[in-house]
Amino acid sequence: MNCCLCDQPLQFIPSWRGIFLYEAPEIVCRACKNEFAKISSTGCKFCSKEGDIVCKDCRYWEEHGYREVIESGKSLYAYNEAMKDWFHQYKFLKDVLLSQVFAKELREALARERTVVVPIPLNKEKLHERSFSQVDQLLLSADIPFKHLLEKCGETLGTKNRQERIATQQLFRLNGETVPRELLLVDDLYTTGTTMRQAAKTLKEAGAVSIRTLTLIRA
């Protein structure tokens, strides 16, 4: 089998853990995996951006109508060149197999999670265009149970600049499911925080008390 990113042959090293825990073998080589930049535990308490304990974007949200809608948040990887290549191939070239690349890391990040995991949804048009939900597929590959509570009802943010993203209104509505008191919102890419903040506020207004967030990538 070859690496799904560089197409070089993979070296399979059997282990007792892999045998007894039925862990799927890696689909990318060690060299490619080492190109991804993990984010340290320091940084913004809402999104993991390096620097201040509250970054500029999150400070804006806290001061403009979204105060305390998110209790805390974490992102796992920085948006470097290797991650940009993976993201493009996974999301836009629809290479579903690449959802397995970070399955182990997501399992470890959510290993002790006891609250309901809620993925950020795609709108119906985007779901039809891409044929799969990239966030759902990441969770499925990691064997993480989740529940949908939201529907995307607003315009997409992909082509908007920073100011336009922040100014966007009403991205989500409830789907009719009961909203739990504690939950964890999960998305693939965090940019300005518009998506997470609006999703969290919609759920807070529906009765959620404690909302934390987890994103695979912090741009």
Q: Where are the domains of the chain?
A: 1-34, 38-218
Q: How many helices (H) and strands (E) does the chain have?
A: 9, 6
How much is the pLDDT for 178? 97
How much is the pLDDT for 126? 85
Kindly tell me if the per-residue pLDDT of 203 is higher than 90: yes
Q: What is the pTM of this model?
A: 0.89
Q: What's the pLDDT band for 134 if we cut at 50, 70, 90?
A: very high
Kindly tell me if the per-residue pLDDT of 35 is higher than 80: yes
**Which DSSP category does 11 fall into?**
-
How much is the pLDDT for 42? 85
Cα–Cα distance for residue pair 199/65, rounded to 1 Å: 13
Distances (CA, A) of 69 to 16, 140, 147: 44, 27, 20
Q: Is 185 exposed, middle or buried (0-12, 13-18, 19+ CB in 10 A)?
A: buried
Mean pLDDT is lowest, of 42-46, 56-60, 120-124, 127-131, for: 127-131
How much is the pLDDT for 1? 85
How much is the pLDDT for 153? 87
Of 62, 184, 60, 182, the closest CA to residue 120 belongs to 184
Please give the CATH topology (third level) of the domain spanning 38-218.
Answer: Rossmann fold (3.40.50)
**Which DSSP category does 184 fall into?**
E
Q: What's the pLDDT band for 128 if we cut at 50, 70, 90?
A: confident
CA contacts within 13 A on the Cβ side of 6: 12
Kindly tell me if the per-residue pLDDT of 19 is higher than 70: no
Kindly tell me if the per-residue pLDDT of 7 is higher than 90: yes
Mean pLDDT is lowest, of 63-77, 152-166, 179-193, for: 152-166
